[in-house]
Every structure is written in structure tokens, then in C-alpha cells.
Structure 1
Amino acid sequence: MLETSARLLQLLSLLQMRREWSGQELADRLEITTRTVRRDVDKLRALGYPVGASVGVGGGYRLGAGAEMPPLLLDDQEVLAVALGLDAVTTGPVSDMAEASAGALSKLRQVMPSRLRHRLDALSLEAVPRTRGQASVSAAVLTDIAATCHRQERLRFEYRRGDGTESRREAEPYRLVRNGMRWYLVAFDLGRDDWRSFRVDRMVPKTPTGPRFAPRDLPAGGASRFLERSIGEVYRQASARVRVHAPLEVIAPMVSDAWGTIESGDESSCELTMYSTSLTSIARWLHAFDADFSVLSPDELRGELTAVADHHEHLAARYRRACGP
């Protein structure tokens, strides 16, 4: 009896893994005969599971929809992966899922074998909770936007840019994409007549949604690649060329492709192009090379360097005054 029950559960697990199995494939996986497969399928049907079957070449068994599914059948590694994922939700970018994830984790833990509970306890980690001001979105907003994407309906929303300016947008939403701790919507902005990415934590969706739209082809590489390019453009709004008076072999390991390119260099100096959100940011960051440097372009960077130097002179004087005579 126990062997048969275990085999039925394993058969259910296989039927959930993919759309269709042939009788011979199931027999091979379960190490039984095709006749026993047919009998086990009949037993599942008697228990209320809608297992469909088709005959002929290409025929097989499939698990239909409409009946209550059995408990999830996961191996040890899958159980731990789900548990750790639920634990991570508490400090993730979705703001109101901590209670739900804790409840789900508690229920999952109750049905774990003791060996897995011990492993999960050993893997328990403490995480720094989200702080106010950190980008987060509600599960309801994510669900509403995802549903609008699925229904292919226009989305109207208020949007706040990084500089604080607000505007009303209407777009054709396509995909939600997570990058690090932030959620983005990749959509076709009807007002700009172009593809755009929007930070979801800066969006306030409006109801009702707009009419349905005919889907367009996503930009090259899909939504994730488009988002990478969009974020990269933000961090390359300003550029400058400088000569750092230090050997190339010393400077090269400090330069990342994400924000800089070395153009030339030798044992005494090297020239590089740097990218950032502003020239102010570049001016403040140049101290990291811990070496003298010269500005090649643009001239506006010299003004930013002067402002940084003045700031540090005032700061140095303040510290010296604090030390007394």
C-alpha cells in the first residue's frame, strides 16, 4: 500500500512537470510497466484528478485543469530554495509582503521533514530591514500593473522623475522587470512616441485603464536588455577626459567598463574617459585615483574641480579650528 501511494504521488509530480507524457516515458521513469501506468492513472481519476489521455502516435497523458491540485511535491533543495526565498521577501523591494511571506514560511516549515527544518535553521540569516526612503512598491500595485500588461490595456499614471517634476503619462505596458532592489515597467510611451522604462515606486496608476492595444515588437534584446540600456544612459549623461599622472598598470585595475575607458597609457601616465550622471559627480570622484591629474575636456569640469577644492579647504579649516591653537 505504501509503495503504491508513494508511486501515485510521484506520478502526480511527473504530470505536473510538463504538458504531456507518453505511457512508455512514465513507465521508464517510475520503473513499472505501461499496464501499471494505466492502472495508476485510473486510480488518480477515481481520486478526482482529471488526467486526460490521447491515443495514437504522439498520444499520451496530461493533467487537466479544474480540480484541486495535490500538495507541491518538491525535493530537498527545492524546499530550501522556496523557504529562503520567502525569508528574503521581508527585506525585498515589495513593501507589504512581510506578513504573508512569514505565514507561508511557517506553513511550509510545519510540513518539512525534520532533516530539512534543521538545515533551514542552520541557514537562517539576519537581514537589515528596509529603511524609509528606500525604493519599495506594494504588492497590489505590482499585481495591477502586471494584470494590465497581460490584458494589453493602456495604462494611465502619474509619474515623478528623479528631479521631483511630475507628469501624467499614458502608455502601452509590456513587461515588469526587476533590477536589484527596484521594479521597472517597460512600456511604449504614447506621449513621447517611443519606448521608455519607468520606476514603479514613482508611479501612481489611475483607474480605469485605457482601451486594449495591438502589441508591438519589443526593442532588440527584449525588455531586460532595453532596461539595461536605459539605466546605462542615465549614468552616462556626462563625460570627461582626463590624464592621470600615474602608471597605466596602477590605474587600469581601478577602471570599470561601467563608468570609464582607458584610451592610452604608459609607465608615467594614462588618459581615460569617464562617465557619470553629472560633471559634479566626476569631479568629486577623481580623488579615488590618489594621483595628480589634468583635465583634457570639457572646460566646465575645471569649474567643478574648483568648487570641490574650495569645499575641502573650508572643511580643512573647520577641522583645524576644532583642534584649537
Structure 2
Amino acid sequence: MSEVTRRALRLLALLQSRTVWTGPELADELAVTVRTVRRDVDRLRELGYPVLTSAGHGGGYQLGAGQALPPLLLGPDEAVAVAVGLRLTASSGIDGLDEDALRALTSLDRILPPQVRSQISALTAAMQVLTGPSPSARPEVLMTLAGAVRDGVRVRVDHERADGYRAERRLEPYRILSFERRWYLFAWDLEREDWRTFRLDRMHAVHASTLTFARRETPDIEATVRGAVTHGPYPTGAVVRILCPLAQVAERIPGRTATLEADGPDACILRAGADDMQWVAMRLAVLGEPIEVIDPPELLDVIRGIGDWASAVGRSEDQQGER
């Protein structure tokens, strides 16, 4: 690194550490002339850093807000603080922030010195975010997969299915998503030659390789993952048209239980998986909206059975009232 570059980085660090610096103060810190400070400030401006100049008493140089975010220069303690905050945010389940925090953490982790990285690991191991009963992914699994997605390299995953079967899977990772307080990996399974969705909390270990892969044309990733979560684990499924606008239904159907899509302005299609149709029928009964059963036909029989049961309960109450 040249002396000019080293001095420019030092100048940037000084400007970030305090609101306003005078030219003589910066010259003393850098052991250069005020004229050299002005030249170094011009170099920072050429790199996109908005260094502002104000005249008069209390004036000097200061970093302003630009149209784009230039690279930040962090000291070791600042890097630890930022990384710990990002890790806590990534595991907090805050909608919309967790995935952004993970991407930022992955970018930062790539350039951290080993000593700083070990400090971060020690601190996050001693801290926890309580997000409810859902199992969480281990930080090392999350970070390894995030790095593999970023670098476009294959991974080997020690994965355990819901039924307890455990096996190694060779994958091409495309995206990590947070959905309903759980982390999922969307990847191409090399053995099955198909797209698969994996829960990260069921991964015992992840090993990233150095083998890059040519990116394939993907389906709608978010829709595919949602479908895998709501339909995939179950032996049977149902498709129902609800005669009510999507917006009114969506706020009453948990995302993990079903997927919804608009079917015109006044109806929507619900797709749900279940161990049996009784559960689906009860969920629809609680919803209380008019429906049309599309598939399977057996669901209509189950719904009628619930109606017969409800009618029988009503007659029994009427008979007791007559006595």
C-alpha cells in the first residue's frame, strides 16, 4: 500500500471519528501540511466520499450524507459491534430485516481478521435472542451457506429429515430465506436432479467446496419455498376456492399452514397440506367464508360430516329445552 493510500485511509478514519475537523488539526494528526490535507480530501471526494467544507468559526471538514453509501472504514472494536448486532438481527425473526442482516454480515465476515472473527463468535455464543418455540439454525451453518450462495460454490450438507433419516446431500445453493421464524435453503439437489427446500435447523454440518457451478434457470423461489413448507411435508393436500377477496383471507391464514393466490377480485385459491382432511375442514370452518372444493372430492364429504354433527348438536339442545 502506498503512503498516499495509507494516509487517505487514515484521513477517512479521522473524519468518521468526529463531526468536524479543522485543516490544521488534521495536518497535525497526519504529520503533513494543510495543503496536503486539501489534496487528500479531494482524493476522497473522487472516490465518492462526501467531504464537506465549512468556513468561519467552528468550521472545517466533515463527512456528509451522499446519494450512495460509500465503503465504511471500521476499527476492530467497531467491526465486532456491527457484526454482533447483525448476527442478533439475523436470528431475531424480524420480518424483512433478518435476510438483509444476513447478507450484510456475510459481506463483513469475508474480510474480518481471524482475531476479530473469534471475538465475534465468543460474544454471540454468550448471547441469545428469544424468538419463540421454533428451532433455530446454528450460526456456523447459516454463515457457511450464506457464503456459499454468495460465492456460487457447491456444498455438502449433513441433513436430517423429519422422520429422522439422516444422509449427506450434495447441493448447489441458490438462496437462503427466512419464513415464519425458520431459515430455509433453496438449492439444486445433485443426486435427485431437482430443486429442493431444506430447513437449516435440521442440518448438522455444512461443508463448502471450491467447486463453482453454472447457474440454472430457477422457478419462482419464494413461491416454491412456500409451497414446500405448506404442502411438501404432508401426505395429502387440498385445493379450495374461497369466495372472498385475497386481502381479507390472507390476514387470517398463518403463512405456514397454506398458500393463497388471488382468483379475480372477489375470490382466492387456498392450497394446504395436512395429515388428514379433517384438519383442513376444521380450518375452513373456523374461517367461516363460503367455499368451493376443487380437490380432493373427499374433502367435501368431510365438511358435510362436520355439518351433520353440528346439526345433531343443535337438535339435542332443542330437545333439552323442551323438557
TM-score by length of 2: 0.49
TM-score by length of 1: 0.49
